[in-house]
């Protein structure tokens, strides 16, 4: 069953506003006393870290608010609480796996359960979002990118990830969503961003113990516009 979101809730989702992580009881976790870059290093890889530093003249200091273990736990807990008869707006939370700031710009990568089913028609304009460019990578992986209603370009990856013990079709109704926002590097090449995003998606999917074992390639199948 598809979740129906109000226009206001949909706008928040598309703009990536719901992005905090939460503790076991649903309360928001306090920020870590010392940011750990290890998750950021993992999801970007050596090439991604070098790209980020090169594009910022070495000024970027990648950090991570959450590690992969916490991201996995958060994802499992939320999808196991999901049911096919759920209705209304969902309040899934994302793990903050990489971020860097500089001046007025920011770069971040977040992962969590998707508000939208895997086959959502993102290439169709809605009341709150322009049409996005969709790249079908394979039967388990989709890439979506384009300008949101606020004018910022965002890059998303959706991965069917079946978690043991969840209802049928969970992997299609509540797939993994990865969200990359970049107003820091000045790089406008969509393929560069989507390649970095695919690397992160492979790392995350491997860490999340997807029983269907989705295949996440190293690069997009064709140069996105």
For 181, the domain range is 7-29+36-207
Residue 35 in this model has a pLDDT that exceeds 60: no
**What does pLDDT average to over the chain?**
85
In a domain, 87, yes or no: yes
Assigned domain for 139 exists: yes
Rounded distance, CA 68 to CA 156, Å?
18
8 Å CB contact between 21 and 39: no
Residue 78 domain flag: yes
96 SS3 class: strand
Residue 215 forms part of a structural domain: no
List pLDDT tens digits, range 70-81. Answer: 999 999 999 999
User: Does any domain span residue 76?
Assistant: yes
CA angle 125, 219, 106 (to 5 degrees): 65
pLDDT tens, residue by residue, 82-121: 998 877 677 899 999 999 988 789 999 999 999 999 999 9
Does the pLDDT value for residue 54 go beyond 90?
Answer: yes
Higher pLDDT, 55 or 13: 55
Q: Is residue 105 part of a domain?
A: yes
Residue predicted with more confidence, 80 or 31? 80
Tell me how many domains the chain contains.
1
Residue 174 lies in a domain: yes
Most confident stretch, 2-6, 51-55, 151-155, 202-206 = 202-206
Q: Please tell me whether the overall predicted TM-score, pTM, comes out greater than 0.75 for this model.
A: yes
């Amino acid at each position: 069953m598809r979740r129906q979101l109000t226009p206001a809730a949909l706008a928040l989702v598309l703009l990536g506003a719901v992005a905090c992580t939460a503790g076991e009881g649903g309360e928001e976790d306090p920020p870590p006393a010392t940011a750990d870059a290890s998750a950021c290093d993992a999801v970007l890889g050596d090439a991604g870290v070098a790209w980020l530093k090169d594009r910022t003249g070495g000024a970027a200091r990648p950090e991570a608010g959450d590690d992969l273990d916490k991201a996995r736990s958060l994802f499992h807990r939320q999808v196991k609480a999901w049911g096919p008869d759920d209705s209304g707006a969902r309040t899934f939370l994302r793990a903050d796996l990489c971020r860097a700031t500089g001046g007025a710009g920011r770069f971040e990568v977040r992962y969590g359960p998707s508000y939208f089913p895997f086959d959502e028609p993102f290439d169709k304009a809605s009341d709150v979002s322009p049409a996005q460019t969709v790249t079908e990578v394979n039967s388990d992986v989709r890439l979506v990118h384009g300008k949101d209603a606020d004018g910022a370009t965002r890059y998303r990856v959706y991965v069917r990830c079946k978690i043991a013990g969840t209802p049928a079709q969970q992997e299609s109704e509540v797939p993994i969503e990865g969200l990359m926002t970049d107003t820091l590097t000045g790089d406008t090449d969509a393929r560069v961003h989507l390649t970095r995003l695919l690397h992160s998606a492979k790392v995350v999917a491997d860490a999340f113990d997807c029983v269907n074992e989705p295949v996440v390639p190293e690069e997009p199948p064709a140069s996105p516009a």
